[in-house]
């Protein structure tokens, strides 16, 4: 009888391969009770979000810096001489203000209606007006205003695709040594005296 009772109350036989109450082993968990694989995915997701956030922040900071730097250069009264047919170059004038705390060097510019935009200076030498290019650029000191005007500093615009006509407006991009650019809208005015390179 005792043998029978022992047999009835005995636990079900188990082998070392299977457990009748637990088909699969529980996943490994961290000290908070989260499965390790879920924790790893969470960390990876947080890392991606942080990386994307930092990238967006850097882009915004660079854009803000470029905008602030550009705002430090003011362009006043930009204009250019009208040119007659057959003349493939003109001159641009304006007053440039450096409202920033650092010097800026204007190196030239670009225009989709001309081959090149250079900085030139006309000056009187031995009673004659001579013009020369300024390959090193034009430096604008902090707080300074520099006038580009006839018979002095000016933008030499070469390779015009068509004559500059009085009353038109032409867009031109000024380029600075530090990589900054500024857009200028040149009002085309009637020429004062003989048009062409010798009158700049």
Q: Domain containing 172 — which CATH number?
A: 2.60.40.1890
Please name every residue paired with 148 in a beta bridge, in sequence order, or none if there are none.
94
Q: Looking at the structure, tell me whether residues 79 and 103 fall in a common domain.
A: yes
**pTM, two decimal places:** 0.63
The Cβ of residue 74 has, within 10 Å, a number of other Cβ atoms equal to 13
Residues 38 and 95 both lie in one domain: no
Q: How far apart are CA 15 and CA 35, in angstroms?
A: 28
Distance in angstroms (rounded) separating the CA atoms of residues 91 and 81: 6
Residue with the two structure tokens 């409202």:
99
Same domain, 59 and 115: no
The answer to whether position 38 is within a domain reads yes
Q: What is the pLDDT of residues 35-73, one digit of tens each?
A: 655 666 667 677 677 667 666 555 455 544 444 445 799
Does 175 map to a domain?
yes
Name the DSSP class of 158.
E
Provide the number of structural domains found in the chain: 2
The mean pLDDT of the chain is 80
pLDDT, tens only, 79-127: 999 999 999 999 999 999 999 999 999 999 999 999 999 999 999 888 8
Per-residue pLDDT, 58 = 59
- Domain span at residue 67 reads 33-71
Backbone angles phi, psi at 23, to 5 degrees: -70, -45
Same domain, 142 and 78: yes
- The answer for 167, left when phi > 0, alpha when psi is -120 to 50, beta otherwise, is left
């Amino acid at each position: 009888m005792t043998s029978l009772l022992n047999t009835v109350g005995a636990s079900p036989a188990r082998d070392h391969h299977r457990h009748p109450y637990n088909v699969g082993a529980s996943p490994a968990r961290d000290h908070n009770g989260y499965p390790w694989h879920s924790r790893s995915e969470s960390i990876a997701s947080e890392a991606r979000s942080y990386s994307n956030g930092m990238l967006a922040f850097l882009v915004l900071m660079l854009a803000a810096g470029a905008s602030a730097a550009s705002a430090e250069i003011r362009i006043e009264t930009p204009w250019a001489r009208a040119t007659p047919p057959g003349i493939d170059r003109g001159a641009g004038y304006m007053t440039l203000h450096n409202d920033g705390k650092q010097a800026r060097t204007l190196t030239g510019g670009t225009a989709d209606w001309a081959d090149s935009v250079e900085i030139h200076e006309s000056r009187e030498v031995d009673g004659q007006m001579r013009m020369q290019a300024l390959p090193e650029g034009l430096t604008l000191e902090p707080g300074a205003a520099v006038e580009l005007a006839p018979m002095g500093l000016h933008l030499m615009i070469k390779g015009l695709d068509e004559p500059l006509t009085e009353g038109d407006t032409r867009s031109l991009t000024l380029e600075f040594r530090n990589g900054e650019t500024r857009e200028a809208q040149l009002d085309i005015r009637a020429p004062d005296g003989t048009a062409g390179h010798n009158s700049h």
